[in-house]
Structure 1
Amino acid sequence: MTRQQSPGSVNRNDRSIVGLTMLAHGMVHTYELSVPIFIPIWLAEFDVVALGPVEVAVTSATLGLLVTVGYGLFGLGALPGGVLVDRVGSRRLITACLVGMAASFLLLGAAPGLVAVTLAMVVWGVSASVYHPAGLALLSKGVRKRGTGFAYHGIAGNLGIGLGPLLTTIMLLFLDWRTVAGVLAVPALLAALYAVRASFDETAAVEPATDGGDDAGDSKASAGVDSLGEFVAESRLLFTGSFALVFLVVMMSGLYYRGVLTFMPELLADFPGFDPVPLTALLPAGVADAVGAGGADGRTLSPANYVYSGLLMIGVVGQYVGGKLTDRIPVERGIAMAFGVLGVLALLFLPVASLGFLPFVAFGAVLGVSLFVVQPFYQATVAEYTPAGTRGLSYGYTYLGVFGVGALGGAVAGTVLTFANPPTLFAVLAAFGFVASATGVVLARK
């Protein structure tokens, strides 16, 4: 065996597993962060949501609740997903996840109204929810160079987070949103085909259990939760300790993350320098006519969407920096500092956006790094504050907090924008950051 650190240099099993998890992780976040690109289009296209004889006006609050349905299920399903992966294996769940996400975007592309859009979001949320427990379990049990595998896995997720919105934005220059949704379904179907055909051993890195090992007697959850009674007992064990404070941190992180991202393209579009640019201003006349961008009703380029995509893409840097810092400073101190920065950035968002395009690009780079630098800190903190035997269950609760409770951030943002104003929204987001920061201080003192 060589000493090179790339997953491909280790063995074929590692290469197959890392390749599959990178592909699936990128797909999950591609779809997750493409949805906000559609929100301004839905606001312009739909006036009401028809619920039988009742019609509800379409507002930011309405769409915030609609998106929250899918995003909420994305988080809520993580906990049962963690239980299922021990029963049916990671490959089956990852394949089902990819097929379900493809089906959801095919349904989205055929949606005649917002009720069908909501149904598509439900299908996506349920399908995507099983990925993180299944993918992380597969990496932890099947890859011998586990650290390298997790690193590549995280990078792929952030590439999906950035490239998904960017690809969606580019396709919307030339295609209507329903066609774009249908096209986006194709990569997940191809990834599902790879998941079925890939050859690997899911437990290649698992050492045989021995008496007196690190996990021996630590908790019954070390062998999986087999009954409701065990689930309740293990959950009580977690939340009677400092994990309750860690769970508060991850909830605040999810609320901030979803709250700041869901309506960002729509918010930025109202600031100077973010006005739509006709595609005819960027392309020669002949080319513009050839791609259908010419004429009075020609396509336009939305700078807000590209800034949004770039902000998410630069999160790769945040993941790397956060990971390095967790090895150098106490995780509690890192949480206090990183979330304090997010609180300050929320208060600065609108003043900087009002300065124009270029100042906000620089600010957005800082925000993008800061949004993702917190993830390695809270992931490491979960490991610090939970016994090894309940580690799987604790990460199930972690993703429930980040993606489940955190999904309410979209509804909060939409409601505040409808009944109050953007400054109020960013004051609320700042509060989320400062609460998490203060919790980090409390953890450090404990």
Structure 2
Amino acid sequence: MSLSPNDRSIAGFTMAGHALVHWFETSIPIFLVVWLTQFDVGVARLGIVVALGYAPFGLGALPGGILADRYGPRSIVLACLGGMSLSFLVLAAANSIYAIAGGLILWGVAASVYHPAGLALISTGVEDRGTVFAYHGIAGNAGIALGPFVAATLLIFLKWSVVAAILAVPGILAVLYGISASFDPTAAVVDDAEAGPDEALSLSDLVGNTRTLFASVFAAVFVLVTFEGLYYRGTLTYLPEILHGLPVIESLALPAGLEGIQPADYIYVGLLVVGMAGQYAGGKLTKRVAPMQGLAGIFVVLAILALAFIPVTALESGLVPIVALCGALGFFLFAIQPFYQDAVAIYTPPDARGLSYGYTYLAEFGIGSLSIAIGGFVLGELSQTAFFVLIAGFAVVGGLLAGALLVGGGRFGEIDEPLEANADD
């Protein structure tokens, strides 16, 4: 079944937003080497500056969800796109490390609101939700892969400040497109009043809605997404470093003129590209497979894949097994995302969908980022084997929780009433 005109319009708008969030996000590390030289700062100091930008990306998701419920997701997505573009123009004009910090903080604040707002828009405005979740995820993966590739390529020919300004251009174009796009943001909701902006939402309403959300099955979904986020962030942060250290990859002989290319980086980008297929497959399967059934199954696969890295990397089994394992990891690591996004849409009411996705991405990118610190400690103080056991453990816990919810499925139904009607129950 093809998408309706309204579904296509929302898909195009949110796909552009999702791709650009990750386009900007993954291009930032490419500038680090240049900034180290340009501003004569140490790695530790610059690391703190960059962390100031990434921290709001996860922590701002909850306020972003609240704002989406208050003012409507379309307005928030447009503000996100405009703010990210402005932040890179600030970076382009920066003449000190303090200006760099300001630009990065602005980016983190602006980018943080996208996921709760964009996903809320899909959940309330799209009829074929699973397919659009899949397309949305594919667009995000495209941004993840293209951001660093384009930035690195342009830096070969242009000054870094010019490259930063060029990277802002797609964001500006997306704002213009979003302003002109026509769609109904509540087309998938029976009662539009449940999904529209709630300008009367007070602090007591937010507290009551939060209390009611976490008194429902959403609390379990939140914990489940937290463990998915721990697996996701820990794996994607340290896998490039692990791949760079493998003798079978370091020993690859490259043709003359290509000595500067890092094969490990291309394997990693390939993993992200394969993730597009995983996003699409996961999104299509949400129409046939219950969310908890899909989540439980994919968590099991992710645990097995994490453990499989132990013998494959330790025994130097060759390039083909490593590439195949990375490909499988990329597929399932991103195939799981449409399932938890759909679970949030099923187990939360439309009038608090932005708040729900705000908490979801606080779990995914905020709490999930703890695995960067934990994983770094394990890799530094223990071993690579212990790291993969840790990552597998995150998947095991998530799988057990999804399995428990699946077994108790008869007690958990869809929520189709507004939260505020139930806040005093």
Q: Which range, TM-score by smaller chain?
A: 0.7 to 0.9
Residues 1:244 and 1:224: Cα distance change in structure 2 (over 3 Å): farther
Q: Give the one of 235, 243, 246 matched to 1:260.
A: 235
| 2:162 is aligned with 1:159 | no
Match of 1:332 in 2: 292
Aligned to 1:27: 20
Once residues 130 and 87 of structure 2 are traced to their aligned partners in structure 1, the CA distance between those partners, rounded to angstroms, is 33
Structure 2 counterpart of 1:427 = 389
2:317 is aligned to: 355
Look up the match of 1:248. Answer: 223
1:305 to 265, 278, 282: 265
Return the offset for 1:228.
1.2
Residue 104 of structure 1 contacts residue 121 of structure 1 at CA under 8 Å; is this kept in 2?
Answer: yes
2:246 maps to amino acid: F
C-alpha separation in 2, matches of 1:44 and 1:421: 30
Measure how far apart 1:436 and its partner are.
0.8
Report whether the alignment pairs 1:315 with 2:275: yes
- Correspondences of 1:98-109 after superposition (within 5 Å): 98-108=81-91
Name the CA distance, whole Å, in 2 between partners of 1:241 and 1:106.
Answer: 43
Alignment of 1:398-413 (within 5 A): 398-413=360-375
The 1:345–1:279 alpha-carbon spacing in structure 2 relative to 1, beyond 3 Å, is closer
1:370 equivalent to 2:332? Answer yes
Is residue 274 from structure 1 mapped to residue 274 from structure 2 by the alignment?
no
State the Cα distance separating 1:110 from its structure 2 match.
Answer: 6.0
Q: Quickly say closer, same or farther: Cα 1:251–1:69, change in 2 above 3 A.
A: farther
Which of the numbers 21, 44, 62 marks the counterpart of 1:79? 62
Cα distance in 1, alignment partners of residues 107 and 236 from structure 2: 18
Partner of 2:418: none
Whole-angstrom distance in 1 between the partners of 2:8 and 2:289: 32
Give distance in 2, aligned partners of 1:280 and 1:109: 35
Q: Which one is further off, 380-389 or 126-135?
A: 380-389
Q: Which moved more, 1:104-113 or 1:41-50?
A: 41-50
Superposition pairs for residues 285-296 of structure 1, below 5 Å?
A: none
Equivalents in 2 of 1:378, 1:147: separation in Å? 11
Q: Which moved more, 1:105-114 or 1:225-234?
A: 105-114
Aligned-residue CA RMSD in angstroms?
3.7
CA distance in 1, matches of 2:320, 2:175: 40
Deviates more, 1:187-196 or 1:241-250: 187-196
CA shift, 1:165, in A, is 3.3
Q: 1:431 and 1:34, CA in 2 relative to 1: closer, same or farther beyond 3 A? A: farther
Q: Distance in 1 between matches of 2:167 and 2:62?
A: 27
Q: Is the 8 A contact 2:52 2:105 kept in 1?
A: yes
| Offset, 1:391 | 3.7
Structure 1's 191 and 435: CA in aligned 2 closer, same or farther, altered over 3 A?
same
Deviation at 1:17, TM superposition (A): 3.8
Q: 1:324 to 1:423 in 2, by over 3 A?
A: same
Q: Deviations over 1:198-227 (max 9, x none)?
A: 1425547377849xx9x6xxxx99957711
Shift of 1:374: 1.2
Residues 376-399 of structure 1, C-alpha deviation per residue, up to 9 Å, x if partnerless? 222233344434554443222112
Contact 1:337 1:437 in 2 (8 A): yes
Q: Aligned partners of 2:126 and 2:394: how far apart in 1?
A: 36
Separation in 1, partners of 2:253, 2:158: 15
C-alpha deviation, 1:375, in angstroms = 1.0
Secondary structure at 1:241's aligned position in 2?
coil
Q: What SS class does the counterpart of residue 158 from structure 1 fall into?
A: helix
Amino acid in the other structure paired with 2:237: T
Structure 1 SS opposite 2:249? coil
The structure with the greater share of residues assigned to helix is: 2
Superposition TM-score, scaled by structure 2 size: 0.80
- Deviation at 1:173? 5.3
User: Could you say what secondary structure the match of 1:281 adopts?
Assistant: coil
Q: 1:205 is paired with a residue of what secondary structure?
A: coil
- The worse-fitting range, judged by mean Cα deviation, of 274-283 and 100-109 is 274-283
Structure-1 separation of matches of 2:282 and 2:134: 12
2:376 and 2:101 map into 1 onto residues whose CA distance is 16
Pick the aligned partner of 1:226 from 195, 201, 213: 201
Whole-angstrom distance in 2 between the partners of 1:438 and 1:131: 30
Q: In the TM superposition, what is the alpha-carbon distance from 1:257 to its structure 2 partner?
A: 1.0
> After the TM superposition, which of the residue ranges 396-405 and 80-89 deviates more from structure 2?
80-89
Task: Structure 2: give runs of 5+ residues left out of the alignment.
Answer: 409-425
**Does residue 1:58 correspond to 2:44, yes or no?**
yes
Tell me the amino acid that sits aligned with residue 166 of structure 1: F
CA contact (8 A) 1:37 1:305 kept: no
Is there any run of 5+ residues in structure 1 with no aligned partner, and where?
Answer: 51-56, 284-298
What CA deviation, in whole Å up to 9, does each residue of 1:317-360 have, x standing for no partner?
A: 21222234334444323222211222222222254244343322
1: CA distance, partners of 2:123 / 2:167? 29
Partner Cα distance (1:86, 1:134) in 2:
8
Aligned partner of 1:294 in structure 2 is none
2:358 is matched with 396
Partner of 2:407: 445
Question: Superposition pairs for residues 197-212 of structure 1, below 5 Å?
Answer: 198-203=180-185, 205=187, 209=191
Residues 69 and 353, structure 2, Cα contact 8 Å, conserved in 1: no
Amino acid at match of 2:405: L
Structure 1 residues 42 and 256, CA gap change in structure 2 (3 angstroms): farther
Counterpart residue identity of residue 2, structure 2:
Q
The AA in structure 2 aligned to 1:83 is I
Q: Please say if residues 256 and 409 of structure 1, whose CA atoms lie closer than 8 Å, have aligned partners that are also in contact.
A: yes
* Map of 2:301 onto structure 1: 341
Q: Which residue does 2:342 correspond to in 1?
A: 380
Query: Is the alpha carbon distance of 1:335 and 1:86 closer, same or farther for their aligned partners in structure 2, counting shifts above 3 Å?
Result: closer
Residue of structure 1 equivalent to 2:214: 239
Q: Percent identity?
A: 47
The size of the alignment, in residue pairs, is 406
Q: CA deviation at 1:28?
A: 0.9
The answer for the alignment partner of 1:5 in structure 2 is 2
